[in-house]
Structure 1
Amino acid sequence: MEFINNTLDFLDSILGGAFYFPFILLGVGLFFTIYLKFPQIRFFKHGWRVVTGKFDRSRDPGDTTHFQALTTALSGTVGTGNIGGVALALFLGGPAALFWMWMTAFFGMTTKFVEVTLSHKYRSKTEDGTMAGGPMYFMDKGLNMKWLAVIFAIATVISSFGTGNMPQSNNIAQAMEATFNVPPVWVGGVMAILLGLVIIGGIRRIAKVTSRIVPLMSVLYVLGAFAVIFYNVENIIPSFVSIFSDAFTGSAAVGGFVGASFAYAFNMGVARGLFSNEAGQGSAAIAHASARTKEPAEEGMVSILEPFIDTIIICTLTGLVILASGVWTEKHQNRFDRSDMRIISGVYSDQIEQDRSQLSTYLNQGRNHDVEVFEGEIEVVSGRPVAGEYTILNSRSVAENVEILIGGDTPYSGTLNVTNGRFTRDNIQVQGESLIHSAALTTVAFTRGYFGDFGQYIVSIGLLMFAFSTAIAWSYYGDRAMIYLAGPRSVMPYRLFYVAGFFIAAVSDTTLIWKIAAVAIVMMTLPNLLGIFLMRKEMKSTVNKYWKENKHKLPDKK
């Protein structure tokens, strides 16, 4: 496990966590925004007109309506990124991270427009009569770069597990256990069976299910969010102030939060923004390729709405709930995941400014600090570690009231060896008070409103629907990639593995799952960004041709 964790950390450090990645992602979006003259603004209204069915033709080729294609793509993006991902971004980067999520969404609206238009233009009809599209098709047929298409398709299959499958299952299980005390193994088993029943029916059944789930879950979640926001209305303006004031300076230490540098908040905000709306990843383009229309640019305009709904609206609501309620700076009783916990040498307190500065630099991956990992032994008496020259960190905070158990509920007594800042013994459970993150943080935040403790049920039910619909959509992305790589016969074996992965992730380490997701996303995104940049001229000509041939669709035309 330690090897896997370190490997994922290394891969993330050279991919999504590297300094260059946010600049590439935002840079491509900025380039196309200027190159296509701000399509996310100019075509925004037209996108709504298209999705309402105003220009639908039943005789056009395709498998779904514009609305069904949008809701299928939204079901792939509106998921744990909106509940757990936003909470993780704020936990890591503070309020500043939300600002950079917004920037990712704004420029991502253009990036999504480009990747969807090109993917729809080069889609193909499969042996079973359904449409198959996505970046691998325009890379192959438009760029004549089959090697790049193969890389992207392989990355899509991997990412279907790392993005659409495992984080969703893990967060569902986490929320169900915290709220209803249902064991993760039962949650994973039942949800895996339901997932299998849906995805076996293919895109038409998937589209019908998601077109019903997405509107329902969005309304429920928004109502719950407003119940917290209005309850803490006096904190809304200060929350917005901190988002903008911290954007270019980083977030200062507050409560148990030891602060985050500008670079760290920027990286975390962009990374979580990408995980949430997937603009630049190329995934949603696979769903939009099924839309029933002869106009690729028209479907591209529909896709502009996705980052707006997903990030500008839903992620903002989640962020305001967490910031206004103040739970992101508070320590809560929780069970420590091994990936979240680290033991360092020396005694540190997050209430002492000098200690906070050292811890902040260390946790934000800076170099100018004196913090060293602890090596040695720790004595434990009746579950309580004996005080010594060490500090236990969990979830980027100084852990308090730590208790060590064995066998589930028996206090441990004896000596524990520590190597490289981690306990070497596997069969112990560590719990105590620390900051929390992901879905657990959002769940607590939703209890700080008019609904009180009932708010946690809104998160749990919303997360259940969000995450389940995301897993459904990503199964479709993966099977389209498998068709490209190995033909239609590979789809059923893929679906069986996909369902199995959904079950396994329910009982896996939460932090480890998020690390897999972070790496998998970038493996798709980099090839896709290269592909759409190389097709920039064709993209512009496709849009110009659309408006030249469809002047009657302009809003000011009768």
Structure 2
Amino acid sequence: MEALNDFLSTLGGFVWGPFLLIPLLLGTGLYMTFRLTGLQVRMLGRALRHGLIDRNDHGGAGDISNYQALTTALAATVGVGNIVGVATAISLGGPGALFWIWVTGVVGMVSKYSEAFLGVRFRTTDAAGEQSGGPQYYLRRGINGPIGKILAFSFAVFAIIASFGIGNLTQANAVAAGIHDTFGVDPWISGVVMFVAVGAVLLGGIQAIGRITAAFVPMMILIYVVGGLVVLALMIDKLPSTMALIFTDAFTGTAAAGGFVGSSLAMAIQYGVARGIFSNESGMGSAAIAAAAAKTSHPVRQGLVSMTQTFIDTIIVVTITGLVVIASGVWDQGSDTAGTMTATAFSTVLPGQYGGTIVSISVVFFAFSTILGWSYYGERCVESLIGRRGSLPYRMIFTIMVFVGATSELELAWTFSDLANGLMALPNLIGILILSGLIVRETRAYLKFDPMLRASATEVQQFLQEQGTDWK
């Protein structure tokens, strides 16, 4: 097992290294940013309003509201990576890694828009009358010939594997460990409770997942964000020097200090980008699966809503974690402490056990919500390969693996998860580049017609008829 773990770690290092996924991720994001003329900046305010205030976009086929699609994707996106992953990046790449996480987030917003747009644009209705979409569909339906089929098949296989790794085993383990450390509850008890809870939700399908996440996700993010802002307010005098350290080290690397062994510029970029994408999942294609289930009158509108996931995840939640870890001074304790680094940072500022408790409860909430979101992603990929008949067996196996994850040691699962995440992103990013012309053309046409996202469903339908586009 140790040899297998070393092999997978080496392979993962290549996939996430400076010669494959990192330039492809950043390059795709920068390319789409240029072609869409900074869409993620100029449309952010309207996208947030449409997703968080308007919430519903009537007139299109779909199974859940665009707000529920947003929270379902956020449930899968905002996870352990927002707490442990950020600390890991900083402990290995130095404070400058946070800058590269921000870069990944900004360019990732347009990647998230692109994949969500395609998810809705090429979605289809399955045997149960529900909407199915995502890279496993748009790569095959949008790209003619064997290339599209190979890319779609590859994505589906890697996504199913990832759903059991990043989306299940590692998250369940984080929940059980967090509850044990905070409340002393035995992991097998947590495993049983999660087994029952996850199974009950999955029986209801995407509608149940959408309802749960719509109520659950805003609360969990608010608890963590408020706690983090309180900690930062208490350290406000340290924030100027913290920001200076982040921007300086982002381009120079970081010298050894304390338990920190030092890092080069390349390490800061590598760990920043890798953990950034691990956290916000932009470019991986997973969020497009949730976007495809949304009731929306046009793919552009849901693409913009989905884009806000990366903003909320990276620019808000991840930033709070990173600033707390760096400003508190615990970032240089060494990578061996990354798992508890954020909790330690909170505890050094807040009195008593409040800091550790906030982080532990947040880990539990974040991880459990990730399990729900990824269960849907994996199920839709199984369905794309073998049909609807695979849904029930997948749900049963997925639920059982929640208990396994809660009660097992998972070093190999973490290594395998990193690799599967990277392998998922490869076919999806290639597909975005191939389909970029379609994305740009239809985005420009729609935003010229409805720049404020205020058009009614009837007006949108008339626009589609005039354009001769029947995306449904």
Normalised to the residue count of structure 1, the TM-score between the two structures is: 0.78
Q: Is the 8 A contact 1:170 1:513 kept in 2?
A: no
**Deviation, structure 1 residue 548:** 4.0
Corresponding position of 1:532: 432
Which residue type is aligned with residue 66 of structure 1? N
Corresponding position of 2:22: 22
Q: Is the 8 A contact 1:12 1:18 kept in 2?
A: no
Corresponding position of 1:136: 136
**Deviation, structure 1 residue 327:** 2.0
Mapping 1:2-13, distance limit 5 Å: 2-13=2-13
Structure 2 distance, partners of 1:284, 1:551, is 24
> CA offsets, 1:319-357, max 9 Å, x none?
111112222223xxxxxxxxxxxxxxxxxxxxxxxxxxx
**Deviation, structure 1 residue 312:** 0.6
Corresponding position of 2:385: 485
Q: CA-atom RMSD, angstroms?
A: 1.8
Structure 2 distance, partners of 1:214, 1:259, is 37
Corresponding position of 1:328: 331
Is 1:126 equivalent to 2:126 in the alignment? yes
Distance 1:448 1:189, change over 3 A: same
> CA offsets, 1:257-294, max 9 Å, x none?
11111111211110000011000000001001111013
Corresponding position of 2:292: 289
Which residue type is aligned with residue 545 of structure 1? A
Structure 2 distance, partners of 1:326, 1:299, is 40
Q: Is the 8 A contact 1:227 1:449 kept in 2?
A: no
Which residue type is aligned with residue 28 of structure 1? T
Corresponding position of 1:39: 39
Is 1:114 equivalent to 2:114 in the alignment? yes
Mapping 1:369-380, distance limit 5 Å: none
Is 1:98 equivalent to 2:101 in the alignment? no
> CA offsets, 1:501-523, max 9 Å, x none?
22222233354333122101011
Mapping 1:505-524, distance limit 5 Å: 505-524=405-424
Is 1:498 equivalent to 2:379 in the alignment? no
**Deviation, structure 1 residue 13:** 2.5
Mapping 1:239-388, distance limit 5 Å: 239-330=242-333
> CA offsets, 1:155-180, max 9 Å, x none?
11011112211221121122222222
Between the two proteins, what is the percent identity of the paired residues?
Answer: 42
Q: Which one has a larger percent helix, Structure 1 or Structure 2?
A: 2
Aligned residue pairs total: 452
> For 1:247, what is the secondary structure of its paired residue?
helix
> CA offsets, 1:1-45, max 9 Å, x none?
212211211221221135432111101000000011111012112
Structure 2 distance, partners of 1:92, 1:504, is 29
Corresponding position of 1:215: 218
Q: Is the 8 A contact 2:57 2:66 kept in 1?
A: no
Q: Is the 8 A contact 2:44 2:308 kept in 1?
A: yes
Distance 1:533 1:437, change over 3 A: same
Which residue type is aligned with residue 14 of structure 2? I
> For 1:540, what is the secondary structure of its paired residue?
helix
Q: Is the 8 A contact 1:19 1:267 kept in 2?
A: no
Q: Is the 8 A contact 1:25 1:529 kept in 2?
A: yes
**Deviation, structure 1 residue 184:** 2.2
Normalised to the residue count of structure 2, the TM-score between the two structures is: 0.92
Corresponding position of 1:336: none
Structure 2 distance, partners of 1:513, 1:239, is 34
> For 1:291, what is the secondary structure of its paired residue?
coil
Larger Rg: 1
Structure 2 distance, partners of 1:81, 1:120, is 27
Which residue type is aligned with residue 260 of structure 1? S
Q: Quick one: higher RCO (CA 8 Å, sep 6+), 1 or 2? A: 2
Structure 2 distance, partners of 1:72, 1:551, is 26
Gaps of 5+ in 1: 331-394, 397-434
Q: Is the 8 A contact 2:55 2:66 kept in 1?
A: no
Distance 1:36 1:524, change over 3 A: same
Structure 2 distance, partners of 1:24, 1:528, is 11
Which residue type is aligned with residue 443 of structure 1? A
1:177 to 161, 173, 180: 180
